[in-house]
Structure 1
């Protein structure tokens, strides 16, 4: 939300009604809009990875869950997948090492890795600060292209509510 507010600040002066100025029509049409986040769906695997699928089911982002980041502790190294890399659901696409332990990053869906979050190589601790953040400074691991088999894998994953119940068991 902060980024939206910052981006609207330059426009705010046009929207403020000043008593010294007569009423005038705005030079643009005001309309409600929704953020792209509403168009994306996030699901979770039993291995504590998340997948955020685009509305068209063609692309997605993969990362580790907040629960996994918390359980790992302070991350000191992230091994990212190579690009391009085709993987099936259940294949390892990288690894995360922390002061407590090391763990593989498992692809929850069949996909092709097209981009990785290079920031994690330079600042692996950013995965702890925002493991489910899909922004440029966030802890996402890979961007992927999803074939039909990957969409089917995605449909079998847990939604946020079921994942929360799973982690509380």
Structure 2
């Protein structure tokens, strides 16, 4: 089983999360840019995610709302800066904390043999913002979505091979 790695060095304003998937780059890219697929894996356990907007063009906006079992809502939004099969660059902002914007760069590296490495580099405006994100959501909550993405990719591959 592939392992998800999270690096958050003390005193730095970034987080790097990476994972290898047993899926081709184009399928991983689709799972990261198709609102119907993103809603199936993005977010921590115990929440449902609704992608309200996802215009995956440079300058296009995205917005997603997560709801927990108690009915609490957590909304996030951002703007895409670059969208290619190998790289997605966007901003990320939690609606409840306006002005605390981070820059996210997802790199999708084709490893050959139908495998892809996704590296998610999050750059915060300050070390304090980065540490706040780590405290608000445990590192486990940041890793769980990629575990669900791996399961979704396997399901998509099986469905495609059954056709």
Name the one with the larger strand percent. Answer: 2
Give the structure-2-normalised TM-score: 0.31
Structure (1 or 2) with the larger CA radius of gyration: 1
Which structure exhibits the higher relative contact order, with contacts defined as CA atoms closer than 8 Å and separated by 6 or more residues? 2
Give the structure-1-normalised TM-score: 0.30
